[in-house]
Structures are given as structure tokens and as C-alpha cells.
A and B are shown apart, each in its own frame.
Chain A
Amino acid sequence: MSRRMGRAGRVGRAGRIVLLAMALAIHAHSALAQNARQIVEEAQKRTDAKSQRYEGLLQVFDAKGKISDKRWSFERLGSHGNSKAVLRFTAPAEVKGVALLVVNHPDRASDQWMWTPAIERDRRIALQDRSTRFFGTDFSFEDLEERDVDQFDYTLAGDDAVDGSACWRIESRPKESKSSQYTKSVVWIRKDDYAFARFENYVKDQVVRRLNYSDIENVQGIWTARQMEMADLRRGSRTRLTLDKLAYNVPFKDEDFTLQAIRRP
């Protein structure tokens, strides 16, 4: 948006009016032509990739300001509901070598296994209570699940701006078949690139968790937030995930995403 405003600044007054008129026309058309569900579908479609790899830095800032860091390498084959991912911790020393295999399904919660090298064994992680925190972060297990558009009802709640970007504000409520810790979520999707800008999760009428996306960049044609920050508003803590060495469509093999694979150092 800022880049676009910059370009707008370099054109003349008439040109600006034309551009504004065109923008308004496009906006009106969009609002009319697309309903909330279609926006979410489009946003999901635009992040489709055959695979993804990055190195992540996870920083947990507790209410007292203490910071704890963890680093991992992340590899994913497929995307959204049809994907498998391996997350391997690289730091600090006490968690180095611990690996997590996540198998996402379009119609149900993911399956997860963990490999603990010190006792040389893997274990299945049962995500029965998905409201619990994900390994001490401010994310819950549910927050990390890939959301399926069919599991929610959407309402377009209006327009808003996040970090200067125009966004659609969409309210999503879980359908009866979907069990969730949240009563509803409000999601902001940028109008220019359909990138997610913010999530707010509610329990009854109270916002309990807020997820902000920042440093959104186009990486290999996919608008990707390089930083995500989840704030637990009840605990007063926040967790920041920073992605580094991000790449899409890396050639991975299916056998790299198995229990045998995560047992390998």
C-alpha cells in the first residue's frame, strides 16, 4: 500500500483523481462481487505451494519481559489440508535434535509425532485438548491447525486498515460440526494481495488471542509474512515467530516426511 501510495505521489493531480476513481470503482466492484467466503478462499488459494522451507526463530516474551528463544528448521510438502511437515529443533542445546512430524488432513485435526533423541523414541502427540499451549508458546495447538474454509461461516464485517493496508474485516464462526475453543474469530485480509494481516480470537465477547502478521513480502510469487506475533491477552505474554531463509517449491520427497525420517539425525 505504501509502495502504491508512493507511486501515486509521483503522478499528477488529475492522475491521482483517476487512480482514486479507479480504486474506488475496483473496491466497489470487489465488495459487491465477492462475498466473505470467496475472499477467504482466494486468500488460501494464493498461498498454495508444492513445498516450503524456512528456518524459524521462536521468541516467547513472558509477562515479566523475560525472553526465551528456540530455533528450528521447517520443511513442508504440500500445502493447507494436504500437507506433511517436519520441524526439527536446532537450539537451545537442551532441545536440539527433537523433531516433530505433522500430517495435516483437510477434514480433521492433524496427526503429530515427536522424536526424542535422548531416549531414542518417538511418541504420538494426542491433540485432545487443543486449547492447551503449543510447547510453551502463546499459540494453542488449535491456532496452528490449518483452517479449512468449509468449517466456518463467514460474515463480511466491514473494511479496516492494518499497518496502513486496506483490509476486509471478516468474522468467522465455527460450524456446529467444528469443535473450537473460540466462540468466533475476526480476520483481516489485505485487499491488495489477499494476505492475512491479523486474527483476533474470541471467547464469548472477549478477545483472548491476537495474531499479527508483519514484514509481508512476496517470496516466489507468494505474499508471506516473515514475522508473526501471537499475543495471549489473558496471560500478558506474546510469542514472535520470525522466518528466515524462506523458500517455496523446494524439491522434497515423500519419504522425508515419515517417522523413519524424523529418527534420522
Chain B
Amino acid sequence: MSLFRLISWPYFRRHVLRTLLTTAGIVLGVAVFVGMHAANQSVLFAFSRTVDRIAGKTELQVTAAETGFPEEVLDKVQTAGSVRVAVPVIEAVVDTNLKGQGSLLVLGIDMTGDRSLRDYDLESGDDAVVDDPLVFLAQPDSIIVSNEFAGRNRLSVGQRLTLGTVEGEKPFTIRGVMKASGLTSAFGGNLAIMDVYAAQKMFGRGRSFDRIDLAVKPGRSIGEAQRELTALVGPGFQIDPPSGRGQQFEAMLTAYSMGVNISSAFALFIGMFIIYNSFSIAVIQRRSEIGILRALGATRRQIRWLFLGESAVTGLIGSIGGVAFGVLIAHAIAASIGTLIADVYGVAQRTDEIARTPGLLAIAVAIGVTTSMVAAAIPAMNAARVDPVQALQKGKYQVLSAGESRLRAILALVLGLVSVVCLTTAGSRPVFYVGYFLAIVVALLLSPLLALTLARALRPMLKWVRPVEGALAADSLIQSPRRTSASVAALMLSLALVVAFAGMARASYDSIIDWMNATLNPDLFVLPSPNIVVRTIRFPPAMAGQLAAIPGIRRVQMVRDARVVFRRTPVMVVAVEMKSVAETVTRMPVEGDPDEMYRRAAAAEGLIVSDNLAELQHLRVGDTLEVPAPNGVLRLPLVGIVVDYSDQQGTILMDRSLFVRYWNDDTVNIFRVYVTPGAHVSDVRQRILETFAGQRQVFVLTNGELKAYILKITDQWFGLTSVQIAVAVLVAILGIVNTLTVSITDRRRELGVLQAVGGLHAQIRRTIWIEALSIGVLGLALGYALGAVNLYYILQIVHHDIAGLRLDYEFPVATVVALIPAILGAAFVAAIWPAESAVRGSLVEALEYE
């Protein structure tokens, strides 16, 4: 402790800026970790909280994924001996048409029994409305809104609220405003209650329910009720506590969560290099001090713990700052994830609060401190090894010894070989991940050598550009590889991540565009909602005939897609008129014969799956698939595997007749419309809108609009890349400022002599700038090289472990080119202050330094 007070504290005080920069590395790493995880947790938490609050006293929920089921299922459930009360529920997310209010979650419930599970106490309005279901049920336009929603929109009882329904926009009468309670705060307060049977009509559910909420009889266990109900309703239903929906939602977000974890890990790794760099420099600079301490009797252990202690304190302060900053950025990230989830998964979500779970914050602080200490471990060990006699001598102690270089090269070679072996023989995923980790370690081991080699290679060019300044800058880099290499390594890691993400995005774009061009060839798409992934409002099949009768329409295809549970995973079922689709779309199967595949699928004798589902569930053509449905288990052979990007968890394509039979659901999500040759698409679109005006809510997208919409969603999905680029630029600035600050301090005498012999301020400035730009160039070169390897690994992970997507390797040239000015610009910005500091230093002091 006394060593810390006497030695460390004065050092920190003398080097405030560098201490701040070092701490900033941890702040950055921890902030990205906290920001991304807190945002992710907040979205999951908001979803679970909405589910919980809506669930009320519900102990079990009966669902058939998101497909809904016939009303008769309710009768069966109500007869179960273990059920005290079972009530039907319909959930619909509708547009409010109120500025800035977004969507409203409408909960359709049956008031006659629902009050046993949920409280609907009114703040204003006639209590009889909720106490007396008769009044509520007799008026199908009755709606009760939460006090929060009413307050935000200055709505009161008796006023009308227009909502989008399957029959177009309809006015609803507010017959009550609910008192503030757990229920009213669900979905960010944007909650409304209406009669379940009126909701069926308004949202095109026919005679089906989305869900049954139930409570178990006293004395009967939940497990007992689950078993009884499973036997009663069959395997096509999920009977789970409300929390089960949260788990399904979480499963749906696996890919996104994985991306968040990778980003966070890289951010921390990068932070670690900034710390490592700072402590390595500190050890070098404080060699004399360490030598004196050792000469005075300090043990190696004491020296090691002095540096580890310093790193722990830095880590702690940085972590606390990182947590605070992370919570701040979490709001923006959560809003972005919320939009993404609504657009990609069709699950509307409002994240108004950021989850500050003590567990997450504690983990963040622990990770920050540990990262800092791990990063400082090697410098601390080097400090402990300092020989007191040598330490008091001056010398080129920063030069990598030939022995050390050789050792690093040998180790890198061995680990590189092991990595390649892991990759080529990767039978198991852990071996693959070990190989991936080793590849990164190899890059880190080689980075000082490569940085040195590259700096030597750069020297002639720099000298050619600016004979004096260029040579000085290059020499500075060559003479102090330790100082340079950690910054370069941090930048390299950061850029490697950006390259991988950008490459994945590029490959995904190209694959999605190919898929869209092959499969989405209708001229128009008729949808019940402006959002193509919203499936809570659907069309009746009779509309197909009405559409076909419109002049200029050649062909109409009905599409019903719905998320179902297959092998305990939520996947997408896409039910189409297979015969008609086979005539208009030519997909080349990844596995299976195209003619046979379409023939058997159209005859309802087989199923087709997407290649990502086949990969994730290890499916082969010929396997028998078992898909549980409300009307029994659909058992059919797999007749083909195709490329399909409808869903990240995978897609099962089937003939529409099978879906109608097994799911008892003939509704339609999308009509694919082909226009007669010669007819104008815009004219036909107008005719469709006119035909259904006032009858149905209809949105008609052209082929180009739909594709643009899908690409917009893809853009949002890869929005994470922009966070990576921001981190990369920040890392560049932090690392370079740190390196240059140290470089200037180290070279005060050299710079002083330069000025004394007539060196101009401009020349010194240019030297520093060139040095900074050179670090940027080295980081870019190594980062792109490692990025190329990283991209390969990331594509493998995406293929095998996340989404099952087979993406082609494509180096993201455009991103790489765009990053060059960004990183060099950041390097230059980072050099401005150190350069000014160098020219403003006192010449006398600089020469006295020695």
C-alpha cells in the first residue's frame, strides 16, 4: 500500500493524460459490453414484462405457436379436471394513427371469466362497463385503454379512437380508462382491452383464438395440469407458463445475441490492448525507478503486485466510468434493437426502461478489472524481472531482442499449425472455436514482428515523401516496436472485426438479392399491414377470387406464413399453392431433384425446407419430418432443400392445403399478384386499392418496393456494423494518442536537439503526424489481413452455429476502402494535440532532460 502511495500515485499525477487514456480503453470496452448487453437484456426484459403483466394470475398458457386454433379447443381445456379457469385471448398490434404513439397492443379477452385472471379497475368511466360484461360485449366498438395511453393522448371516456383493422380503419369508443397497475404498464402503457369475439371480427381471426390463459385448481400442480392438457389437446400445442413465451422470444433472438456477444468480446479485447500498451510503456519508462526500488530491497513479488494493483485500480475506475457510459448508450441501442425486432421478427416491442440488473453491472466491473489486470500481467512480470544494475543504465531497451522475436515466431508457427489442424479436422464445434482463438493469438504474437517489418518497408517511402520528417517518424516506429505494436494490435483487432461484419453483411446482401430475384418475381404484393412481417392481421381466402377478377391480373397466389414450433425451436412455415408457385418460380434446390421436389410438394406428399433449417437441424432429403399442428402431427418426407431467407431459424415450405388441413386456418398473409402482359403495374395497383377501398385494409407493394423493404430490414440487421466502425475509429484515436504521447515524452531530448539545430516547428509537427499516419497504415494493413481470416471464421460460425446460412466468402472491398480515410483521418486527429505539445515544450527543459 505504501509503495502504491509513494510510487504509483505520483506517477499517475505526473501523467494525468496518459492515465486518462489508459482508463479510456477500459471505459470503452466496458461501455460497449454494458451498452449492448443492457440494451439486449432490456428488450428481452420488456418483452417478458409485457407477457407477465398481461398474464396477470395466469399460470399456464395454451398456444399453437403464433398460428392460433379453433374455439373448440377452449371447450376441451375448460373441461380439464385440473383447470380452475381458462379464458381465450387474442392479441393484435395495431396502428393508432396518433402522432408519435406508434402501435397499440389490443388484448381481446372474454370479460365473463377474465376478471378471475386480470384486474380491470377503472380510473374513469362507468364501472358497470367492466363489471358488467353485458354492456361491454353488446357494443363491439367498446375499448378500454390504459391511463398512461389516455394521459399521453389526452383521451377520455366517450371519445373515439381510430384503429387499423382488417376491415380498414374503424372508430372505437373508449368506455373506460384503466387505473395504473401492472397490466396497464405492459407494452409501455400502449395497451387496450376489447371483447375477444369483437377482436376476432376486427382482426380477421374467424372463429379462432390466439391463446388460452388458465389458472390451475387449488391443490393441483402446474406440472399435473400440463400433463393433463397435453394429453387432452395433443402435441400441436404448447402448454407453458407465461415465462415460456419469453424463452421463445429469446430463442428467436439467438443470432442477434450472438452478434452482441462477439462485439462485446472484441471491445473488451481491444480495451485490453490499450491497457497492455500503456503498462508496457509505463514499465519501460519507470525502469530506473524500478531499479532503485529493487536496489533498496523491494522484492520481485512487490514490484509485480505494484503494477497489478495499479492496473486493478485503473480497471475499477475505468469500469465504473464504462458502466455509466454504457447505460447511457444502451438507450439508443435498445431503441434500435426494438425497431429491428419489430421489423425483422414482427414482434412489436417498446423498451422504455433500461435494465440495470446488478448482476450485469457487477459482471461488467469484474470483467473490466480482470481485463485490466490480465492486460497488465505481462508488463508487471517484465517489471518484476528488471535487473537493478541494467535498469539504471541507458539503452535501447525497447528493441525486440532477436531471441524474443524468434520465440514469438516459433510460438506463432506452432499455434498457427494447431489452428489449421483444428480448422481442417473440426469434427466438434469446441475444436473449431479453439482454432479460431488460436488464429487470433497467432496474429497478436506476430503483430510486433509484422509491425516492425512493415515499418521498415515503409521507411523508404516515408523518406521519399518527406526526407527528414519521414525518416525520423519511421525510425521512431522501428526503434520502439513495443510502443507501436500494442496500438497497432488494438487497431488490427478492431478492423478485423469490422471487416468480418462488413463481409458477412456483403455476403448476406448478395445472397438475399439472389434469393429475392429468384423467388420474389410477382409484380405486386397485397398485404394487410404496411409491415410485411406483421401477421396478426390477415385476409380471408375469398379475396383471391376478388383479386383475380380485377382486369389486368393474370395470376394470384395465396401465401400464409406463420411461426410454429419445430423440434422445440420457433421456425417459419410458409404455405403456398405449390403447383402455381412451381410454374412461376424456379428454385434450384441445394439438395433434391427440382421437378420431383415441386411435384411431391404440390401433391402434399412432401415438405421442402430452407438450407439453414437443414443445417441447424441436421436434415437430409428423405428424412421424415414431424411438425406438430393443432389438428395432429404432420408427418411427411423431406423432398427438397432450397435457399430461403424467410426466417433466421429456418423455413418449412408446404402446400397450402396441408396448412389448411393441419392448422385449420385458411387465412392469407400475402397475395402474390402477376399482372397480364401489357397491363401497367401502377394501373392494376390502383384498381386493387379501389376495389377494396372502405372494405378492407389493403396495402399494395410493387416488386421493387418489396425488395427495397427487405433490403431496408437487412440494413437494420447489420446496423451493428456501424457500432463496430465507431469503436474501431475510437480505438484508433485512443491508441494513437497514447502511443504518440509516450513517443513525444521519450523523444523530448531528440526533439529538443532537433529544434536546437534549427528544426522548424512545422517539421516537428509533420514528423508526429507522419508517425501517427504510419501507425494507422500499419493497423489498416494488419487489420485487413486478420479481417480476411476473421471473415472466414465468422461465416463458418454463421453457417454452423447461428443461422445455418451458407454465405459466400466475399471480401468487403467497399468498406475496406471507405475505412482508409476514416482511420487515417482519426490518426491525424489523434496526432494534433501530441504534435502541438511537442513544439510547445521548453527547449531548455528538453535538453536538461538528459
Contact = CB atoms under 8 A, between A and B. Distances in A.
B83 A124 contact: no
A119 interface: yes
B138 A94 contact: yes
Contacts of A119: 140, 197-198, 201
Contacts of B86: 126, 128
B140 A132 contact: no
B128 A129 contact: no
B133 A118 contact: no
Contacts of B115: 132
A95 B140 contact: no
A118 B139 contact: yes
A240 to B, nearest CB: 15
B134 interface: yes
A129 B85 contact: yes
A123 B197 contact: yes
B113 interface: yes
A234 to B, nearest CB: 14
A129 B139 contact: no
B85 A133 contact: no
A137 B197 CA distance: 23
A95 B133 CA distance: 10
Contact of B137 (A62, A70, A116, A137): A116
Nearest to B74: A126
B134 A135 contact: yes
B370 interface: no
> Which of B75, B83, B85, B113 has the most chain A CB within a 10 Å cutoff?
B113
A116 B135 contact: no
Contacts of B116: 128-129, 132
B334 to A, nearest CB: 39
A85 interface: no
Interface in A105-138: 114, 116-119, 121, 123-126, 128-129, 132-133, 135-137
A114 to B, nearest CB: 7
B302 interface: no
Contact of B128 (A68, A97, A114): A68
B83 A116 contact: no
A57 to B, nearest CB: 15
Contact of A128 (B84, B127, B135, B140): B84
Nearest to A96: B138
A60 interface: yes
A263 B138 CA distance: 14
A188 B72 CA distance: 43
A89 interface: yes
B80 to A, nearest CB: 10
Interface residues of A, number: 27
B131 interface: yes
A70 B138 CA distance: 13
B624 interface: no
A60 B135 contact: no
Interface in B269-299: none
A68 B137 CA distance: 17
Contacts of A262: none
Contacts of B198: 119
Contacts of A135: 132-134
A86 to B, nearest CB: 15
Given A119-B197, A128-B85, A129-B84, A95 B112 contact: no
Contacts of B78: 126, 128
B85 A95 contact: no
B138 A62 contact: no
Interface in B197-227: 197-198, 201
A116 B198 CA distance: 10
Contacts of A132: 112-113, 115-116
Interface string B107-135: 00010110110000000000110011111
A94 B135 contact: yes
Interface in A76-117: 89, 94-98, 114, 116-117
Contact of A124 (B75, B138, B201): B75
Nearest to B201: A119
B134 A89 contact: yes
B112 A60 contact: no
Nearest to B84: A128
A136 B116 CA distance: 14
A48 to B, nearest CB: 30
Interface in B77-91: 78, 83-87
Nearest to A118: B140
B60 to A, nearest CB: 14
A239 to B, nearest CB: 11
Contact of B112 (A62, A118, A126): A126
Given A116-B197, A125-B112, 13 more contacts: A70-B134, A94-B135, A98-B134, A98-B138, A116-B140, A119-B140, A123-B197, A126-B86, A132-B112, A135-B132, A136-B131, A136-B132, A137-B132
22 contacts: A89-B134, A95-B134, A95-B135, A95-B138, A98-B138, A114-B137, A116-B137, A116-B140, A119-B197, A121-B197, A123-B110, A126-B87, A126-B112, A128-B83, A129-B85, A129-B116, A132-B112, A135-B133, A135-B134, A136-B131, A136-B135, A137-B132
Interface of B: 74-75, 78, 83-87, 110, 112-113, 115-116, 127-128, 131-135, 137-140, 197-198, 201
4 shortest interchain CB distances as A-B pairs: A136-B132, A136-B131, A129-B116, A128-B85
